[in-house]
């Protein structure tokens, strides 16, 4: 029997709640901090040794406050992603405290890691409403498309990076909605906010290495879906025709983020079992590692040398989901582990 991979602690933040993680081809490590209830300092940082961080790409972009313009600063960064060409992509839903989009400044930002400069910004005014929460992104560099999830309302945003055309699709389809009948139990109780079950919709997203399939799922249920990206890119299909192309893969686990490796295996974090699960292209499920330190494994990045990077955001410990009590007992963390061959 293969030995369970070891979790290596790379970063621990005892003060600020992080969500995303991304590692570059040179091994540079990045994380982000959404503007949620609790302490907040920077939105996006580069991580160095000894838990040192530096605001990224500069301090100015990390200085947004109420009243500032939001399109040239980070308002509430939710995710950071580095593509196969080593370009960085940052998702800013610009929705402080998950309440409302600020000043139509929800955006996707591309950053050149060689120059540490913003290359281009795509804004979502008129595409995603002021009640949206853009959550995560995957980029197909060969075809020039980006795909994002909208976790507050449910939907997939498709960005043609070359033409600049943007659309949101599948908003009415059950695949982007959390199953109302699913009871999400974590830490021995139902995940709830203000006495009501908390429902988070299309969240985790993963692109196969060949770019042919997009996997996605609502956060607060255990269903998994996929669709061929050719249909998402098609500008002629009606909404109903597109819905027919969604593949319902069945029930698996509750997860936040997810990612595909070079072989097309899908990695998800089982929130209820504090574990990392691998789903093969044939949909065979394997638990890769289980460890109580994995408190709400949130986001993932895979390095060129086949390490899986894991951020732990402890979302279920937030006061919002515990009648106002902060249940966190350990730092917010980033781990890595070698992907088993």
Report angle CA 57, 61, 65 to the nearest 5 degrees.
155
Q: Please provide the DSSP assignment of 310-326 as one string.
A: EEE--GGGSGGGTTT--
Q: Is residue 241 part of a domain?
A: no
Q: Which residues contact 215 (CB under 8 A, 6 or more apart)?
A: 204, 205, 206, 207, 208, 224, 225, 226, 258, 260, 266
Residue-averaged pLDDT of the chain: 97
pLDDT (mean) for 150-161: 98
Q: Please provide the DSSP assignment of 272-291 as one string.
A: TTTEEEEE-TT--EEEEEE-
Q: Is residue 294 part of a domain?
A: no
What's the pLDDT score for residue 311?
98
What's the pLDDT score for residue 76?
98
Q: Which residues contact 284 (CB under 8 A, 6 or more apart)?
A: none
Rounded-to-integer distance, Cα 36 and Cα 34, Å = 6
Q: At 276, is the pLDDT very low, low, confident or very high (cuts 50, 70, 90)?
A: very high
Q: Which residues contact 15 (CB under 8 A, 6 or more apart)?
A: 39, 41
Q: Is residue 317 part of a domain?
A: no
Q: Is residue 161 part of a domain?
A: no
Indicate the pairing of strand 332-338 with strand 8-13: antiparallel
What's the pLDDT score for residue 3?
72
pLDDT in tens, 120-130: 999 999 999 99
Cβ atoms 61, 46 nearer than 8 A: no
pLDDT (mean) for 236-255: 97
Q: Is residue 111 part of a domain?
A: yes
Q: Is residue 19 part of a domain?
A: no
pLDDT (mean) for 243-268: 98
Q: In the chain, which residue ranges form alpha helices assigned H by DSSP?
A: 229-233, 239-243
Give residue 110's domain range.
Answer: 35-128
Secondary structure of residue 174 in the 3-state scheme: helix
- How many domains, the chain? 1
Rounded-to-integer distance, Cα 94 and Cα 100, Å = 8
pLDDT in tens, 54-106: 999 999 999 999 999 999 999 999 999 999 999 999 999 999 999 999 999 99
pLDDT in tens, 172-181: 999 999 999 9
Q: How far is CA 183 from CA 178, 180, 313, in A?
A: 10, 8, 21
pLDDT in tens, 181-230: 999 999 999 999 988 999 999 999 999 999 999 999 999 999 999 999 99
Q: At 2, is the pLDDT very low, low, confident or very high (cuts 50, 70, 90)?
A: low
- Decide if pLDDT at 1 tops 60: no
Q: At 5, is the pLDDT very low, low, confident or very high (cuts 50, 70, 90)?
A: confident
Q: Is residue 142 part of a domain?
A: no
Q: Is residue 143 part of a domain?
A: no
What's the pLDDT score for residue 194?
87
What's the pLDDT score for residue 341?
80
What's the pLDDT score for residue 340?
87
pLDDT (mean) for 230-254: 97
pTM of the model: 0.97
pLDDT in tens, 330-339: 999 999 999 9
Percent of the chain scoring above 70 in pLDDT: 99
What's the pLDDT score for residue 55?
98
Q: At 267, is the pLDDT very low, low, confident or very high (cuts 50, 70, 90)?
A: very high
Q: At 144, is the pLDDT very low, low, confident or very high (cuts 50, 70, 90)?
A: very high
pLDDT in tens, 293-327: 999 999 999 999 999 999 999 999 999 999 999 99
Burial 203-226 (b: 16+ CB within 10 A, else e): bbbbbbeebebbbbbbbbbbbbbb
Rounded-to-integer distance, Cα 130 and Cα 102, Å = 8
């Amino acid at each position: 029997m293969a030995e369970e991979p070891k979790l290596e602690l790379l970063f621990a933040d005892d003060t600020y709640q992080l969500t995303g993680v991304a590692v570059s081809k040179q091994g540079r490590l990045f994380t982000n901090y959404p503007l949620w209830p609790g302490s907040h300092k920077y939105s996006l940082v580069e991580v160095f040794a000894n838990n040192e961080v530096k605001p990224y790409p500069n301090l100015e972009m990390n200085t947004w406050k109420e009243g500032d313009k939001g399109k040239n600063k980070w308002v509430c960064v939710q995710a950071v992603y580095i593509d196969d060409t080593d370009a960085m992509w940052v998702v800013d839903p610009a929705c402080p405290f998950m309440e409302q989009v600020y000043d139509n400044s929800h955006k996707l930002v591309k950053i050149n890691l060689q120059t540490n400069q913003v290359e281009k910004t795509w804004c979502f005014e008129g595409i995603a409403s002021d009640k949206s929460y853009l959550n995560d992104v995957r980029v197909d560099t060969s075809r020039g498309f980006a795909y994002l999830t909208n976790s507050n309302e449910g939907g997939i945003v498709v960005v043609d990076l070359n033409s600049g055309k943007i659309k949101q699709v599948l908003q009415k389809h059950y695949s982007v909605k959390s199953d109302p009948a699913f009871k999400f139990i974590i830490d021995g109780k139902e995940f709830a906010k203000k006495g009501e079950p908390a429902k988070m919709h299309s969240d985790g997203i993963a692109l196969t290495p060949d770019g042919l399939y997009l996997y996605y799922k609502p956060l607060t249920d255990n269903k998994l879906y996929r669709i061929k990206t050719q249909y998402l890119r098609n500008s002629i299909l009606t909404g109903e025709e597109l819905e027919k192309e969604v593949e319902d893969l069945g029930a698996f686990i509750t997860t936040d983020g997810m990612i595909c490796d070079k072989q097309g295996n899908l990695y998800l974090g089982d929130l209820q079992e504090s574990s990392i699960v691998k789903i093969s292209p044939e949909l065979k499920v394997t638990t890769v590692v289980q460890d109580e330190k994995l408190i709400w494994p949130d986001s993932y990045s895979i390095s060129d040398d086949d390490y899986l990077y894991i951020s732990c955001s402890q979302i279920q410990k937030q006061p919002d989901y515990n009648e106002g009590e902060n249940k966190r007992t350990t730092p917010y963390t980033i781990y890595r582990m070698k992907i088993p061959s």
